Amino acid sequence: MQFTELNLAPELLRNVVAMGYVTPTPIQQQAIPAALEGRDVLGKAPTGTGKTAAFMLPTLHRLRGKEGLRCLVLCPTRELAIQVADNARQYAVNTEMFVGIVYGGVPLDKDLRDLRAGVEVLVATPGRLNDHLERGNVDLSNIEVLILDEADRMLDMGFKPQIDNILRRCKRTGRQTLFFSATMPNSVKSLAYEMLNDAVTVEAAPKVTTAEGVEQFVYPVEPSKKPELLLKILKQEEVRSALVFTRTKFGADRLAGQLTRAGLTVETMHSDRNMAQRVRALESFRAGEVKILIATDVAQRGIDVDGISHVINYDAPKDPEGYVHRVGRTARAGETGVAITFMSGGEIGDVAAVEHLVGARIPRVNVPGFSVFSEEGSETTTVTMNTKPTQKEARASRGRRMGKNAGKDLSPEELAKLLGASAA
């Protein structure tokens, strides 16, 4: 199938062709025809599947020739909202449909310029949109299409009350709802049930891969020794900038305090920080003013920064797909990077789930004094001075990069070295 077969308006088709679109992605092939028919759509679609075009193109097709605010797109973060709005504007070139955006962390006056100029499509974060609703700056009574992008993240970030308030303001009968989420936990299913009417369900998961230039390692470590091991790693010269992931907000704040007391420059990003604080943290990290950014999974997909040398999973991710998203923050634009995952005894199963998903074993690196447990049948490289293994040590642990030489037989010399390391 090609885009020319999707029955889009000629002006929209010209725009997507000009953008280099030829063949729709699987999620676009499923969602666009259903949305063009006016059906509600429930889409399970992670980042990178082309979901923005899947919901924006049929929406713009529907809104041709109409004036005033007709479509609302809700996004969890400023970064995603900007990305969605930018794409929507490209799709809407020469259509006389205008796209506005409102998000936190900037003066309200900036939002008002867009709102007062008149837009047909409004992309917004829930918190900032509620601010405008309370001030009477936005009227949602004529919304024909309501879109939720990354609904799971919005719920994780505590936006359910704001979403409920927004839904109460979208009073138009016959409203179409396009609901997209990377995951479908019970909380997301419950919200979808509230919002959707006889929805078409579509799903398209991308191929699970990690960036080609990422060296990946697992460091067995006792939970109580994680802070000390992290400090050792972060003080290595090759660590230019590090993105550190923790499982909880409390853990992120506690770790930030420990690293700050050790003399390192640190910022945090999680759902308890307001949008202005997150923007400042991200800009400081991007500018190199701070070396370390500590984040939770709720915030990670909004982190778009080039040049990150290391991603460190201080806590192994509970969701294996989350590992792919985390690791994807390094080795961007043809660069190389290192991904390190700390694994306590209680996290062996989490790491095994990641390895099952990506279809390869991640090399283990043992730093003496930091772990007292071992995995049955595990092949481990022991390092002493440097916490990142040398190339020779990495080869002894079967492969330098995920999926490359993962099953290669060891040479007699490598086997002897490995047995010597294990005995140590």
Average pLDDT per 10 consecutive residues for the chain, totaling 424 residues: 89 90 90 96 84 96 94 93 93 93 87 85 96 94 96 86 95 92 86 93 69 85 95 89 93 96 93 80 91 82 78 90 82 81 93 85 90 60 53 47 42 51 42
Contacts of residue 336, Cβ cutoff 8 Å, sequence gap at least 6: 213, 214, 215
pLDDT for 170 equals: 94
272 and 383 inside one domain:
yes
Determine the Cα–Cα distance for residues 416 and 422; give it in Å rounded to an integer.
10
pLDDT for 423 equals: 40
Alpha-carbon distance values, 109 to 55, 103, 112, 132, 160 (Å) = 29, 12, 5, 11, 26
> Is residue 424 in some structural domain?
no
264 and 125 inside one domain:
no
Q: How many residues does the chain have?
A: 424
Q: CB burial class (10 A; 0-12, 13-18, 19+) of residue 188?
A: buried
> Is residue 243 in some structural domain?
yes
252 and 104 inside one domain:
no
Handedness of CA 383, 384, 389, 394 (dihedral sign): negative
pLDDT for 353 equals: 87
CA atoms within a 13 Å half-sphere pointing along the CA-CB vector of 62: 24
CA atoms within a 13 Å half-sphere pointing along the CA-CB vector of 169: 22
- Structural domain boundaries, residue 286: 214-418
Q: What is the CATH number of the domain that holds 343?
A: 3.40.50.300
CB 108 within 8 A of CB 129: no
pLDDT for 416 equals: 52
pLDDT for 422 equals: 41
pLDDT for 401 equals: 43
Count the domains in the chain: 2
pLDDT for 384 equals: 53
> What ranges make up the beta strands (E) of 53-127?
71-74, 99-102, 121-124
186 and 243 inside one domain:
no
> What ranges make up the beta strands (E) of 175-272?
176-181, 200-203, 214-220, 242-245, 266-269
pLDDT for 78 equals: 87
Query: What is the biggest distance separating any 2 CA atoms in the chain, rounded to whole angstroms?
Result: 75
Place of tokens 């071992």: 374
The domain boundary residue, chosen from 159, 184, 203:
203
pLDDT for 185 equals: 80
